[in-house]
Amino acid sequence: MPRSATLLPQLKPMTVEEWGALDEDVEGELVDGVLEEEEMATFLHELVVMWLARILGTWARQRRGFVAGSEAKIVVGPRRGRKPDVSVYLRGTAPALMDTLVRTAPHLVVEVVSPRPRDARRDRVDKIRDYARAGIRYYWILDPQLRTLEILALEARAQYRVAVAHSRGRLRIPGCPGLVLDLDHLWAEVDEAERQQKRRARKR
């Protein structure tokens, strides 16, 4: 995310094209033509996002696919657009490099849940509907507060079912042949960051 974001004084509903044309310093997702505030990212949130991006990036490159970050604007409806924390495109499905709007459904998207209740509800309720309607095959919800990973798989009638729900261990990931996630390794990295924070606090 940009270091300094600009709030948009929105006077009228906008189209997805107008949303895509906004300056990069203007943050927000598009919900029924209205710019909606994005989640409040913590250091924990970003640490987990980057851990996932490293692993997914390695897996995707081996298959000539690509991983995009949180500024990719994905059209999920006529007047709705989302910016997932991570999105993965398989070989031959990536949008054009100069596109400001993504109209091709990625293979999977990831949202890392933030602690604010409204952010959690958005990831667990609103975005489930949006990503399903957009035809995104897999939706991952990773909650670092609860230390859980849920992987939702798209079924008929544009509805998701829970394909994976785990809090620890090594997981073979559906829809991603050869990909194994070690959640214990992730939580160990989080624990190490917490230990360092406590050591700094004691030294003050």
Give the pLDDT confidence score for residue 157 in this predicted structure.
Answer: 81
Whether the Cβ atoms of residue 137 and residue 154 lie closer than 8 Å to each other: yes
Homologous superfamily (CATH) for 41-203: tt1808, chain A (3.90.1570.10)
Whether the Cβ atoms of residue 49 and residue 86 lie closer than 8 Å to each other: yes
Instruction: Render each residue's pLDDT in the chain as its tens digit; 204 residues.
Output: 444 444 555 557 999 999 999 998 899 999 999 999 988 889 999 999 999 999 999 999 999 999 999 999 999 999 999 999 999 999 999 999 999 999 999 999 999 999 889 999 999 999 999 999 999 999 999 999 999 999 999 998 889 999 999 999 999 999 999 999 999 999 999 999 999 988 888 888
Token readout for 120 is 């959690």
Give the pLDDT confidence score for residue 9 in this predicted structure.
Answer: 52
Give the pLDDT confidence score for residue 77 in this predicted structure.
Answer: 96
Give the pLDDT confidence score for residue 11 in this predicted structure.
Answer: 56
Alpha carbons 62 and 64: distance in angstroms, whole number? 6
Token readout for 16 is 């997805």
Report the predicted TM-score, pTM, of the whole model to 2 decimal places. 0.91
Q: Tell me 24's DSSP state.
A: T
From 126, 133, 13, select the one nearest 77 (Cα to Cα). Answer: 133
Q: Please state the domain extents for the chain.
A: 41-203
